Structure 1
Amino acid sequence: MTISDSELDSSKGIDLTFRRRRKAGSVACEGFITTYHEYCRNTSIHGVQYLGEQERPFRERIFWLFVFLISIYGCSTLIQSAYTKWTETPVIVSFAEKSTPVWNIPFPAVTVCSETKRVLKQKGKETTYADLYSQFSEDMRASRVFRPENVSALEMEEFRTLLHVCNTQIIEEDIPLIAGDDLDYFDVLQRMLPQFDRYFFYCRWLSRFGECETFFRKTLTEEGICYTFNGLRATEIYRDDTYQYQHSGEPLEMENISSQHTAWTLETGYALDSDVETFPARVLSAGARSGIFLALQSFKQEVDYACRGPVQGFKVGKFENVLLHAPDDVPQVSKQFVRIPMGKEVLIAVKPNMITMSSGIAEYHPVRRQCFLSHERSLRFFKVYTESNCQLECLANFTLTKCGCVKFSMPRNVDMPVCGEDKIHCYDRAERELLVREFKRVKALNAGRENSRSVESACNCMPACTSLVYNTEISQANFDLEEMLVAEGDTEFLKEYPGSQMSRLSIYFKQSQFITSKRSELYGMTEFLANCGGIFGLFMGFSILSLVEMIYHFTLRLFTNLKRLVKG
């Protein structure tokens, strides 16, 4: 068997190609090793130079490799911790650098609700809520139709309305729907309202004496119709298609005192060119003379203990963003209130607690900064986002889902059904179920449960980034109306107002200036890089130039070494 010349030439070609590849591979390996030793001799990173010294014993190189890896692990752990802090808690709340004068913020909105409800009357004698409810309960237990004698259709409407307003805790469960037409509870409550000036006897705002009607507007709350001072109109809080917007009423005289009333928002404050007298109203200093003073009156013969329980008087809710109420917040009297007992003089000194924000945190996602800007969270019923408004809307939506209707005082569209008497327990239970649902969801998320997604979505009602709370200090003393009238020589007052009980209320700022809090960046990009640089420098002596040095040796320097070896 012989081998042809062509086969010999092919064999030589393959061998030559293999040798060239082997030589190229050895050149590349030699170039990389040469570059590596040069890098180890010249780098500024601590410990690396010991790894590249050929004359250094193998044990020592293993020791320094072990130390180097431990340093990298320490750096990685601490930088991971810094990154987690940067991503999860980038915002810190601290005190502002200087104090804020009280004229920078509005005077708190004040909502007054009388605990005395209208007494039903029939044919010269009184029929109380207790009388009708007692008969209603007996008929319900006996499975009879509730048709009380000598009670007009109008009085029946008022009784049905009081079932929603009075103490619902005593109402029996699973009560039937009382026969009758669908009611507009707001209209019925307005009809039941007693004469305004009988209860708001006297008002003084700043140094001006005036009729209370010029300061207070009707407000629909869960406890009926109350009266609010210095709160924005429903047209400025609710959206156009809501029931509350369409029943907002006419503007008050004090709302027309300045054309700048629409320039105020909680985030931006008052306009720089706004007048001293504006709306929402503000004061220029602290003290009782720079506040509101009220003389509230009630009557012993009009007390109905079955409706509101044994405690009678007035509830005064001071409302703002989260615990109390700023002018753009909706009053929820049953959650925050100060009780004003009859025969007392009550002084409420207000201490504002305001949180502002720096411009830098606006770039963060709301979840990272744990608050919403006004344009980031749109509500279905409200134009203005506050945590309280959001929670109220969430409750209305949840109640509609659970009961098929909403309570008469909840924010709603005109075409949304309103719960009747048979749904009172349903909407009361819905509020607790919503709170339990939110509690379980937050608990599941904090525990890191895998199935936390199966829990119903939250209300997503984080605080507003700019918030305002009015904390209070309350003091009171006895106020004896009869002794005061005797001292003044007025013997006709009690004859004109038999059974009168009176309280006096004064609300004012305690101090002319207060310290605000401020949401600002705890970890910006600069702080994060500085923190990482400090960790790298402490463990390894690493810097930006060290990174450039590494890139240089294994790109430009490696290419130069390879080129030199190929030529050699």
Structure 2
Amino acid sequence: MIPNEIIISKPRNINEWSLDPGPIRQQPNSEFRGKQNEYGGIYPHVYVRTIGQPKNVNEKYSSRICKGIVQQLKKYCENSTLHGLRYVGDSHLTIGERIFWFISFSMAICFAAYYISNIYTKWKSSPVIISFSPFDAELNSIPFPAITICNMNQAKRNEAERILKEGSSIERKLLDDSCNGNTTFDNSENISWESLRDFLVKVGNSCSDMLHSCQWGAEKLDCNDIFNNDLTDEGLCCSFNRLPPEKIFRNSKDISILNQTYPNNVYDWDPEIGFTNTDNGDSIPKRPLGAGAHLGLSVILDANVENYYCSSTRSTGFKVILSNPIETPKMADFGFLISPGFETRISIEPAIREATSALRDIPIEKRQCYFSNERPLQYYRKYSKYNCDSECKIINSYASCNCVPYYLPHNESMKICSLTNRCFERAKGILDLRPRMRKLLNQKSADCHCFNSCNSVEYSVLKTAAPLRRIVNHNHSDEEVRKNFVGLSAFFSSNIYTKTSKKPIYNFTDFLANTGGLLSFLIGFSLLSIVELLFYVFWLNWKKYVINHQTDKVPDAPVFTFTN
């Protein structure tokens, strides 16, 4: 005979809801029903369960959880504010209608996911956008450009003739190299930086040789007060408004410095910081006085054509370049020509680029620019693309040719390149090629990753010229003016300029607005939709679990076991 047990339990009421203690298992014979009736008189509820056939409690509990979740999901669908989802859980609709709304809702989710993925892909592939800044740049917020002027004459005739007659062998070789490019120095010849610098100063045209008169705004000035001699890739030249070497180079001894004079108030200008209130306006670099030729720089230049010995081009006159005051000018490649006998006007157009601080969070390879403290250079104090390119040429020329050009920064252990060193010219040409062209031509060189500065000021020019008839307050014949003199004026054409701003294409708020707009448009999704889902799926089930857990704390009914 299978033993049986009689479970006698008290009725349990929680929150006025009657909780059924469980299904009544049928007894195997009438004897046990009688015992149930007997004990039922003592206890309100008596249940008899067969001991030999216990129920799987875990399976029952899991089934109850699943049914509860399904019921809550159904309630969520019936009450959800998402478009079309309430029809999916509506039991009054046919199966076909509910399937139709389920497919429609699923398609809307797919469309939303597709467009959101497009937004994300666009942000990952090109996370930066360049747009016009809503604020114009005032003219006094940027410096007047540095202007470098070089006479095309590489050697004064009187000095060249002296060298040919009584100069040293090294001077003669340097002269031949400068004019004809025929000399390559061997290792036995000790050409120091000082000897080359002295040679260039002797044969070149200094500021006092070139500048006839100078005017800054309405004030006539001594040219030696505002111009300084400089060594460039064109030899000895004259520069205006360029920062002193100690403000450009990390170690001013790394460059061949000439006798230069600067005012006491030199401002350590940087494109990223700009000018501050401590600058009084008279410092170096100078700021524009205003727009128009009468508020710019005007100079009269003397080419002294009769003293030409050899020219860097096939003509006579001057090369001029405008650059950022913190940069080394590339005169040989980018200088424009001014011919004697003409008055030339240069209208300056600045290109002002700025970047928001949020751009720092984007990887450098994605934004393609450097902030000033992100790329320290070995020889230059301040980063710019031109300075980075110059330093890259130093590294590549020294690696390829074991020498460095005289006009670039160097240390004492580096050998000097000849003035027209073919190895350096070839290395420079390869470096100036675009990376793709270098790869196609199978030319190897160090990739210096010289991106643009995130904050920069560059200058472009619009040049016009007309024949120069006479020079005021100077007694020169028309023929002499036509052959030797140049009138040059550089000025800004406007007091306000548009600047461009580089910033992330999306910040978190923009991304949230774009994705939220798509989800709201397609399925009616909002932040409260998440709260709804959490409420129906988790909160109500948790609440039901707490109630059931409280019912389990009621004392168990006595158990009576009977055997046959």
Q: 3-state SS of the aligned residue for 1:476? A: strand
Aligned to 1:247: 257
Task: Tell me what 2:318 maps to.
Answer: 314
In structure 2, what is the Cα distance between the partners aligned to 1:127 and 1:531? 77
1:506 aligns with 2:459: no
Q: In the superposition, relative to structure 1, how do residues 96 and 308 fare at CA in structure 2: closer, same or farther (>3 Å)?
A: same
Note the C-alpha offset of 1:338. Answer: 2.2
Structure 1 unmatched runs, 5+: 4-11, 129-149, 320-325, 444-454
Equivalent residues in 2 for 1:103-252, closer than 5 Å: 103-119=140-156, 126=161, 152=166, 154=168, 156-157=170-171, 159-160=173-174, 163=177, 165-166=178-179, 177=186, 180-184=189-193, 185-194=196-205, 196-240=207-251, 243-244=254-255, 247=257, 249-252=259-262
- Structure 1 275/196 Cα, relative in aligned 2: closer, same or farther at 3 Å? closer
List aligned pairs for 1:73-92, cutoff 5 A: 73-92=110-129
**Partner-residue secondary structure (3-state), 1:428:** helix
Q: Partner of 1:77: helix, strand, or coil?
A: helix
TM-superposed CA distance for 1:464, in Å, is 1.2
Residue 355 of structure 2: aligned partner: 357
Percent identical pairs in the alignment equals: 26
Structure 1 residues 54, 224: CA separation in 2 closer, same or farther (over 3 Å shift)? Answer: same
Contact 2:158 2:307 in 1 (8 A): no
Indicate if the aligned counterparts of 1:374 and 1:464 stay in contact, CA closer than 8 A.
Answer: yes
Name the stretch that deviates more: 107-116 or 205-214. Answer: 205-214
TM-score (norm: length of structure 2): 0.79
Task: Give 1:403 deviation, angstroms.
Answer: 2.0
Note closer, same or farther for the CA distance 1:560–1:99 as it changes in structure 2 (3 Å cut). closer
Shift of 1:492: 9.3
Report deviation, 1:336: 2.2
- 1:227 shift after superposition: 1.2
Residues 161 and 189, structure 1, Cα contact 8 Å, conserved in 2: no
Contact 1:167 1:309 in 2 (8 A): no
Q: Is the 8 A contact 1:221 1:331 kept in 2?
A: yes
* Equivalent position of 1:556 in the other structure: 539
SS at match of 1:117: strand
* Corresponding letter in the other structure for 2:236: I
RMSD of aligned alpha carbons: 3.6
1:106–1:281 contact (8 Å) kept in structure 2: yes
How many angstroms does 1:240 deviate by?
A: 1.7
Q: 1:419 to 1:197 in 2, by over 3 A?
A: closer
Larger Rg: 2
Cα separation, partners in 2 of 1:555 and 1:414, compared to 1, 3 Å = farther
Contact 2:154 2:235 in 1 (8 A): no
- Which structure has the highest helix share of the two? 1
Instruction: Name the structure 1 match of 2:429.
Output: 432
Post-superposition shift, 1:301? 2.9
The question of whether the paired residues in 1 share the 8 Å contact of 2:157 and 2:307 is answered with no
Alignment partners' CA distance in 2, 1:381 and 1:22: 76
Q: How does 1:451-462 map to 2 (within 5 A)?
A: 458-462=447-451
Which residue does 1:543 correspond to in 2? 526
Please give the alpha-carbon distance, in whole angstroms, between the structure 2 residues aligned to 1:442 and 1:503: 45
User: Within 1, Cα distance between the matches of 2:418 and 2:346?
Assistant: 38
How far has the Cα of 1:541 moved from its partner? 0.9
Q: Which residue of 1 aligns with 2:270?
A: 265
Correspondence for 2:66 among 29, 54, 63 = 29
Q: Which moved more, 1:83-92 or 1:371-380?
A: 83-92
Tell me the distance in 2 between the aligned counterparts of 1:560 and 1:492. Answer: 106
Aligned partners of 1:235 and 1:248 also within 8 Å: no
- Kept in 1, the 8 Å contact 2:269–2:285? The answer is yes
Q: Secondary structure at the match of 1:217?
A: strand
- 1:430 alignment partner AA: A
Find the counterpart in structure 1 of residue 498 from structure 2.
Answer: 515
Matched residue type, 2:223: C
* Superposed displacement of residue 396, structure 1: 1.7
Residue 406 of structure 1: CA displacement?
Answer: 2.1
Alpha-carbon distance in structure 1 between the residues aligned to 2:124 and 2:253:
39
Match for residue 465 of structure 1? 454
Residue pair 2:305, 2:484 contacting (<8 A) in 1 also = yes
Residue 288 (structure 2) pairs with residue 283 (structure 1)? yes
Structure 1 residues 179 and 499: alpha-carbon distance in aligned structure 2, compared to 1, 3 A threshold: farther
Q: CA deviation at 1:266?
A: 1.7
Q: Give the Cα separation in 2 of the matches to 1:272 and 1:121.
A: 50
Offset, 1:439: 2.9
Give the Cα separation in 1 of the matches to 2:268 and 2:542: 67
Size of the aligned set, in residue pairs, is 501
Go from structure 1 to structure 2 and tell me whether the alpha carbon gap of 1:342 and 1:65 turns closer, same or farther (over 3 Å shift).
same
Counterpart position of 1:133: none
Distance 1:267 1:32 in 2: 59
Instruction: State how far apart, in whole Å, the 1-side matches of 2:259 and 2:95 are.
Output: 90
Contact 1:318 1:470 survives alignment (8 Å) = yes
Summarize deviations over 1:256-292 as a string: whole Å, max 9, x none. Answer: 2xx3x32532222222142232221123322222121
Q: Contact between 2:383 and 2:453, CA under 8 Å: does it hold in 1?
A: yes
CA distance in 2: counterparts of 1:202 and 1:362, whole angstroms:
47
Residues 156 and 470 from structure 1, CA distance in 2 versus in 1: closer, same or farther, beyond 3 angstroms? same
Contact 1:28 1:562 in 2 (8 A): no
